[in-house]
Amino acid sequence: MVIVKNHKNFSTKSMNSLNKLDVGQFNKCLGGIVKNKKSEHIKFLKKQRFILLEAIHEMQKKLDCVDYVIYLLKRINANERDKEEVKMTIGEISQEIGLSADTLRYYEKIGLLPNVPRDNSGKRNYDENFINWIKFIQTLKNSGMSLNDIIEYINLAKCGNNTYQERKNLLIKSKQILLEKMLNLQSMIEKANYQINNYDNILVPKTDALIF
């Protein structure tokens, strides 16, 4: 039986792909309830296999994002910035990054973004470091990391470079979760292939045994 449940670590696109799976019809097809529709059965199974392959492709893109995050992390810790410091208002950084001002305020409120210093008039004053953090948060989100894990990453970052390995471990954990999901999807594809390749000598007899 194929069971697809929602999971917090799946992206919307991945879940949309998986939700295309017609679970009830898929189970009927595999269980052999539909009679004398061999070509329809095989066509249906191939369609489900294609949907699973799409989901695995989406997971692979997330894994690529995780690898890129690890690469960025090494660069951030290895390179010293000596450029002239840039100051930006929330409106300016919103336009620069492509996130709304409300989203930036929310990130700061929940601890996803470190507290932003303010000028004498009380307006937020973003520097280059905050621009890099916001871009980094977007990269973490694109890699499939949950908001809670990103917050934990930020909190560890506030403790200094001695948490370097702990932060990297969060990325490794996120990557491992994605790999496990890919293995699960690959297993489903293999089962679909087995049913297609052995349709005549396995699935049809099962169908006949259940119906007649």
pLDDT in tens, 151-206: 888 788 778 888 889 988 888 888 888 888 889 988 989 988 888 888 888 888 88
Provide, rounded to the nearest whole percent, the portion of the chain with pLDDT above 90.
2
Band of residue 7 on the pLDDT scale cut at 50, 70, 90: very low
Band of residue 8 on the pLDDT scale cut at 50, 70, 90: very low
Q: Is the predicted pLDDT of residue 123 greater than 70, yes or no?
A: yes
Q: Is the predicted pLDDT of residue 99 greater than 80, yes or no?
A: yes
- The confidence score (pLDDT) of residue 4 equals 40
Q: Is the predicted pLDDT of residue 11 greater than 50, yes or no?
A: no
Q: Is the predicted pLDDT of residue 19 greater than 80, yes or no?
A: no
The whole-number average pLDDT for the span 133-140 is 85
Give me the phi and psi of 124, to 5 degrees please: -65, 140
- The confidence score (pLDDT) of residue 78 equals 55
- The confidence score (pLDDT) of residue 17 equals 47
